[in-house]
Structure 1
């Protein structure tokens, strides 16, 4: 028996700790507090109302008797008759009237009253100038007694009217007893209603919980049911489904990254394996051995670069810093980059044109900026046919505060006159392992890993900047990046070198 009680208590406590239990308990507690306050206010108002009715009746009787007294229509009986408590009728115990002459003695009482003065002796000796009303014990009961002064030629007379509060108190007691029975019943009904309503209100939550439990990792279309109502539960379901979309997209990107990384690693590893097998053949010559070692070294270099690229992107995804800012002479850095690419452009039959600020010192990562430019300029040189041109433009622009990002920006534009980006590639230009080599006129053999633009975007975002890739109306490809900075505007200069 005790174990069953313990289990029952555990079930009740567990239910009360739940959302539904807390809702019902909170609702009942609030209802009980409001009911108690309502009962107290109602009984107080009822008591005051009943006493106000008694006072009004006393005032009417006293005023009528005073008017008759002034008009001489009252037959006085001096001394007035008195009766004992045992001989008094029950109906006579509810109300009475009495008249006191100017001398302070009672000259009339209707009906006959009990022994004892209903008015204090000091009030009789010194009549009040205004009407007074009070609650007093008289004849063993609680009475409301009104004393009204009446001015006559021989002095101040007193008209006294009294009424028992027994009926009013009895009515209040009956009302309180009825409320003490009705309120618990009402609270019980409210508790049942709260239990049913909370169950109906939380039913969508139970449905969403069941849907969430049935979701699988490999179910990309898995969703939770969104309630048809436009309320917080609907917003919660929408937010949860949006989270599921992001998780599915993240898983898809992760799977794609693993598959693409495996594909990228497979080719150099296969080449490396082939070269090593060639190197260990007994019939290989010294020249074959040197050639195999050189090819293996190139593949190891390629694998190392791919691993470093993947590591950098992983650090960017995890929120680790991938840039180290320092005060950098941007003009000097751009000049160094331009000089490095002039000869390469000339070798390919291309024109290299640069336009850079005269002076610019900025707080950024010079190594990251150099890597960005190497990637963009290298892409342009690879994809621009002979006779074309590659341009590097750098400038300072001030953006209005209403635009994002606002303030002073370093704007770098790398463009070429090649075939441009394929239209289908542009929305995914900065995705990982995406290439535009077919549209840009290169074969898969000369293609990169597909991580270049993704790394450029990660480095730009690490500088709190933005980057876009477009095909200008005049043809070719253009990549523009903007890095926020604080610097004085500088006059640009243009340097061109023909191949």
Structure 2
């Protein structure tokens, strides 16, 4: 069925335009056409085979009946005189002639017909087949079908237009040499074939029509939920992502399709909300430093005092750097959201993180590092360095006087922990801190230059390397833990 549907799908490309219009185009019509064609071909072939087998069996039965009746007469003629009327049963006509072709005995159905003498058939000198009963020594028996067009003894070879099968045997007994003819009519064979053929001629088209009607109805009922899903999706726009398609209770492939479509709509709605929130937050974050920078430039123009310029230029430079960092963070987030491919390599995080931390020796809050050997991952050097930098920047922003960095290998994972001795992160905010532009202490974060993107970027970087980033309980301060797969488990993890 599947192969037939595929051939029907590809057939229109190989046919002229006029014929393409005649082929079914909908799934429902193609399924109905394919099912009906398969059933029709199967029933047609089975009908032909059935008629052939039935005809062969009936012919064999008629032939066997003629042989049995002739054998009975031969067995009787071999030991005694034959009566003029042969009392046989089974519907087979039997007549016996002597060496001169004179009729010796016949079944009652032949006695009422005018007899036509038949030429004597000499008995071949071959061993007789296995015929039960006493056979006179030296008697030869030979059954053979009548040649085409030959008429049997008595009334001709066709009774009311029906073919016959004749068997001839020879025997020598008390009545002398005799020839036994047994003629089996194929009237019943023809009648059975005609009846069966008529029944099949009516039944096969009827079954084909029934299959077409059932397939059309069942396919329509099966595709009705798909049409409902299509209609609902067609009405959903960018402002209606909260709508969902109906999920049928059948639990079949259509129901799973509806669940998948709803899950896709969930992701689209979430992405749309995040995009709108991201645009609003980015606009807000960009508006503040731009407004401050404009104010500083306007003040410098309004007071052309060279003594004020160094301070104004320093403030303007600070806001420009802040704008530059924010723009870089926004571009990185856009790249992470787009899942653009990046170059990856085998990295020993011991060496990568040691070099990154050595460049921060003059930071306001000192960093105590404990880096383990063998922390090899498959990733991007710039992104993993940015992951560490964001975590350390966040810890130094809130630390009182100590930041600890620990790199270890546990349970087949590379684990990076960054701890500080600051106020810590409340349990209710341990997931919210990873949202973009989120600040738990907004005034302090703005003063220290944070835009609320560091931890969001860090989590996305860990996720793109097949890892995770979470906030975990700590006795003092905050404890952020990033877990990355080792190199032997990370192939294909970076997206």
CA displacement, residues 67-98 of structure 1 (integer Å, 9 cap, x when unaligned):
53355262269xx9xxxxxxxxxxxxx84213
Number of residues of Structure 1 aligned to a counterpart in Structure 2: 442
Between the aligned partners of 2:242 and 2:377, the Cα distance in structure 1 is 48
Seen in structure 2, the aligned counterparts of structure 1 residues 96 and 359 have a Cα distance that, compared at 3 Å, is closer
CA shift, 1:26, in A, is: 0.8
TM-score, length-normalised on structure 1? 0.76
Q: Which residue of 1 aligns with 2:421?
A: 417
CA shift, 1:391, in A, is: 1.0
Between the aligned partners of 2:322 and 2:176, the Cα distance in structure 1 is 128
Which range is displaced more, 367-376 or 298-307? 367-376
Seen in structure 2, the aligned counterparts of structure 1 residues 338 and 205 have a Cα distance that, compared at 3 Å, is closer
Structure 1 residue 301 corresponds to structure 2 residue 321: yes
Q: Which residue of 1 aligns with 2:267?
A: 246
CA displacement, residues 385-425 of structure 1 (integer Å, 9 cap, x when unaligned):
24xx32111223452xxxxxxxxx43321112323223233
Seen in structure 2, the aligned counterparts of structure 1 residues 31 and 360 have a Cα distance that, compared at 3 Å, is closer
Q: Which residue of 2 aligns with 1:454?
A: 456
Q: Which residue of 1 aligns with 2:34?
A: 26
Seen in structure 2, the aligned counterparts of structure 1 residues 230 and 395 have a Cα distance that, compared at 3 Å, is closer
CA shift, 1:175, in A, is: 3.3
Selected match of 1:317 from 334, 337, 343: 337
Aligned partner of residue 249 in structure 2, secondary structure: coil
Q: Which residue of 1 aligns with 2:233?
A: 212
CA shift, 1:380, in A, is: 1.1
Between the aligned partners of 2:376 and 2:223, the Cα distance in structure 1 is 61
Seen in structure 2, the aligned counterparts of structure 1 residues 125 and 436 have a Cα distance that, compared at 3 Å, is same
Q: Which residue of 1 aligns with 2:478?
A: 477
Q: Which runs of 5+ in 2 are unaligned?
A: 1-16, 132-142, 152-156, 489-495
CA shift, 1:364, in A, is: 5.0
Between the aligned partners of 2:299 and 2:274, the Cα distance in structure 1 is 37
Seen in structure 2, the aligned counterparts of structure 1 residues 107 and 324 have a Cα distance that, compared at 3 Å, is same
Between the aligned partners of 2:461 and 2:99, the Cα distance in structure 1 is 110
Structure 1 residue 395 corresponds to structure 2 residue 379: no
Conserved? CA contact 1:136–1:143, under 8 Å: no
Conserved? CA contact 1:223–1:244, under 8 Å: yes
Conserved? CA contact 2:415–2:484, under 8 Å: yes
Between the aligned partners of 1:366 and 1:147, the Cα distance in structure 2 is 103
Conserved? CA contact 1:149–1:156, under 8 Å: yes
Aligned partner of residue 183 in structure 2, secondary structure: strand
Mapping of residues 326-341 of structure 1, within 5 Å: 330-341=349-360
Structure 1 residue 288 corresponds to structure 2 residue 290: no
CA shift, 1:259, in A, is: 1.4
Seen in structure 2, the aligned counterparts of structure 1 residues 314 and 23 have a Cα distance that, compared at 3 Å, is same
Between the aligned partners of 2:252 and 2:82, the Cα distance in structure 1 is 77
Aligned partner of residue 286 in structure 1, secondary structure: coil
Structure 1 residue 96 corresponds to structure 2 residue 93: yes
Seen in structure 2, the aligned counterparts of structure 1 residues 435 and 320 have a Cα distance that, compared at 3 Å, is same
CA shift, 1:29, in A, is: 0.6
Selected match of 1:369 from 377, 380, 384: 384
Q: Indicate the RMSD between aligned Cα atoms, in angstroms.
A: 3.8
CA shift, 1:103, in A, is: 11
Selected match of 2:394 from 347, 356, 379: 379
TM-score, length-normalised on structure 2? 0.76
CA shift, 1:25, in A, is: 0.9
Conserved? CA contact 1:434–1:450, under 8 Å: yes
Q: Which runs of 5+ in 1 are unaligned?
A: 1-8, 81-93, 400-408, 488-499
Aligned partner of residue 287 in structure 1, secondary structure: coil
Aligned partner of residue 340 in structure 2, secondary structure: coil
Between the aligned partners of 2:71 and 2:462, the Cα distance in structure 1 is 97
Conserved? CA contact 2:415–2:483, under 8 Å: yes
Q: Which residue of 2 aligns with 1:191?
A: 212
Q: Which residue of 1 aligns with 2:136?
A: none
Seen in structure 2, the aligned counterparts of structure 1 residues 326 and 95 have a Cα distance that, compared at 3 Å, is closer
CA shift, 1:333, in A, is: 4.3
Between the aligned partners of 1:155 and 1:436, the Cα distance in structure 2 is 130
Aligned partner of residue 414 in structure 1, secondary structure: strand
CA shift, 1:101, in A, is: 6.6
Seen in structure 2, the aligned counterparts of structure 1 residues 482 and 24 have a Cα distance that, compared at 3 Å, is same
Between the aligned partners of 1:357 and 1:384, the Cα distance in structure 2 is 24
CA shift, 1:228, in A, is: 1.8
CA shift, 1:301, in A, is: 1.6
Q: Which residue of 1 aligns with 2:129?
A: 129
Mapping of residues 268-287 of structure 1, within 5 Å: 268-281=289-302, 283-287=303-307
Between the aligned partners of 1:397 and 1:154, the Cα distance in structure 2 is 113
Between the aligned partners of 2:65 and 2:265, the Cα distance in structure 1 is 76
